[in-house]
């Protein structure tokens, strides 16, 4: 659940017309620790692969349409560890996920109770690198109740927590999320506070939490502002993600931000930390991330049928010539 609700600050989308040139970051590897691939196309997977994204984390979120029954949750969680994971592997990208009850749907208490019952079935699955994305949206009592319960679950399972911070009343919501996490005895280095901005970052870092930034047009961070933040705060415990979903968002936000950092004189070492390594260090505390898998995923069997065409084989992702009128 990210950024599509246009209830935040809106900025002029046409400020800059600099064309995309990813040449400067060619050969670099990226890790996008927050992206909702379920709502993206295969073109996005190919573009991400081409831009150097080797692995990603898909947090469990709200799907736009509220779920009305427990089986919808079960199937969604299953798809994150099943079909979507496989789909990603076909494009040579290692797929991890975080599992949790998002804050919006925590407000449907009778359903939330049932979700809490099935969460233990999923959180210890292979490749589940944390409880997420959880936290506050409207900051209601129900949201707080299930946030707290899930923090306990994370503590018990020794898993990192990925916190969604609210669009509205963000600063206080972020502070409150951190207060509660500490109250439950979580170590701040096990908690990734997401969707930060200039107003929240200082406190998050000062208190020892991980600070994630979502590069998402109009409603969240732009990558020029991100570069300034890196220049001001350095790279320790900072990571960048796209949170791309079914709204106007950009699955290449991480590589594009890396390219911009490079243009603006940030060192390769620092770029690597905020677009790759820090996320792996943070979510790697789950014990579920193995960098060797990023390489082996490329060798997975890809011979699967798509729309009647046998297109995927031998480790090569199929390509269509988009400039051609011929589809064969």
Partner 1 sequence: MQQKGNFLKSTFAEIIQHNLPAEIYTWLQDKALLIREEKNAGQLNLTFAAVPRKTGKQLIQFSLEEHDKLKQVHSEYAINGWTIDRLCRVWMLLQVDSSDKENYFRKLETLFKAAEMNELVALYSALPGFDYAEDWQKQCADGIRSNIGIVLEAIMYNNPYPNQYLSEQAWNQLVMKAFFTDKDVKRIIGLDERANKELASILIDYANERWAAHRVVNPQLWRLVTKFIHAENFANIEKAFNSADLSEKKAAALAAFYSHYQPAKDLLENDIELKFAIKENKLNWNAL
Binding flag, residue 69, partner 1 (CB under 8 A): no
Per CB under 8 A, which region of 61-69, 73-81, 145-153, 192-200 contacts partner 1?
73-81
Q: Give DSSP secondary structure letters for 95-164.
A: EEEEE---TTGGGSHHHHHHHHHHHHHHHTSTTEEEEEEEE-SS--HHHHHHHHHHHHHHHHHT--EEEE
Q: Angle at Cα 239 formed by Cα 28 and Cα 14, nearest 5°?
A: 80
Per CB under 8 A, which region of 167-175, 214-222, 277-285, 302-310 contacts partner 1?
302-310
Cβ proximity to partner 1: between 169 and 301 the closer is 301
Binding flag, residue 15, partner 1 (CB under 8 A): no
**From candidates 74, 155, 170, 272, binder to partner 1 by CB under 8 A:** 74
Q: Are 242 and 216 in contact (CB under 8 A)?
A: yes
Q: Are 230 and 213 in contact (CB under 8 A)?
A: no
Binding flag, residue 298, partner 1 (CB under 8 A): no
Binding flag, residue 316, partner 1 (CB under 8 A): no
Binding flag, residue 295, partner 1 (CB under 8 A): no
Residues 102-141 that bind partner 1 (CB under 8 A): 118, 120-122, 124-127
| H/E segment holding residue 319 | none
Binding flag, residue 78, partner 1 (CB under 8 A): yes
Binding flag, residue 310, partner 1 (CB under 8 A): yes
Helix/strand/coil for 192 = strand
Q: How far is the CB of 60 from partner 1 (least distance, A)?
A: 14
Binding flag, residue 67, partner 1 (CB under 8 A): no
Distance CA 140, CA 190 (A): 24
Binding flag, residue 76, partner 1 (CB under 8 A): no
Number of alpha carbons in the 13 Å side-chain half-sphere of residue 149? 20
Residues lying near partner 1 in the complex (CB under 8 A) are found at 74, 77-78, 81-83, 85-86, 118, 120-122, 124-127, 287, 300-305, 310, 313, 328
């Amino acid at each position: 659940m990210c950024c599509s609700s246009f209830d935040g600050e809106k900025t002029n989308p046409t400020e800059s017309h600099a064309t995309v040139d990813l040449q400067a970051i060619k050969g670099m590897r990226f890790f996008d620790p927050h992206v909702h691939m379920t709502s993206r196309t295969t073109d996005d997977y190919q573009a991400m692969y081409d831009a150097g994204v080797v692995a990603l984390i898909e947090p469990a979120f709200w799907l736009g349409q509220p779920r009305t029954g427990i089986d919808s949750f079960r199937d969604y969680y299953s798809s994150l560890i099943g079909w979507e994971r496989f789909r990603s592997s076909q494009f040579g990208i290692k797929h991890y996920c975080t599992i949790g009850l998002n804050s919006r749907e925590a407000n449907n208490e009778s359903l939330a109770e049932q979700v809490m019952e099935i969460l233990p079935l999923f959180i210890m699955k292979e490749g589940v690198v944390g409880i997420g994305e959880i936290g506050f949206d409207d900051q209601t009592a129900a949201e707080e109740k299930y946030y707290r319960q899930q923090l306990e679950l994370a503590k018990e399972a020794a898993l990192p927590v990925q916190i969604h911070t609210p669009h509205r009343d963000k600063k206080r919501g972020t502070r409150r999320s951190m207060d509660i996490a500490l109250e439950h005895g979580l170590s701040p280095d096990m908690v990734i506070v997401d969707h930060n901005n200039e107003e929240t970052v200082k406190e998050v870092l000062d208190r020892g939490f991980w600070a994630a930034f979502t590069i998402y047009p109009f409603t969240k961070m732009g990558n020029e502002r991100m570069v300034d933040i890196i220049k001001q705060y350095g790279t320790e415990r900072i990571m960048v993600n796209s949170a791309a979903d079914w709204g106007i968002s950009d699955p290449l936000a991480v590589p594009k931000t890396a390219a911009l950092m490079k243009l603006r004189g940030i060192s390769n070492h620092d770029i690597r930390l905020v677009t790759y390594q820090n996320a792996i260090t943070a979510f790697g505390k789950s014990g579920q991330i193995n960098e060797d898998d990023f390489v082996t995923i490329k060798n997975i069997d890809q011979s699967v049928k798509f729309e009647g065409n046998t297109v995927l084989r031998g480790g090569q992702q199929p390509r269509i010539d988009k400039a051609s009128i011929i589809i064969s």
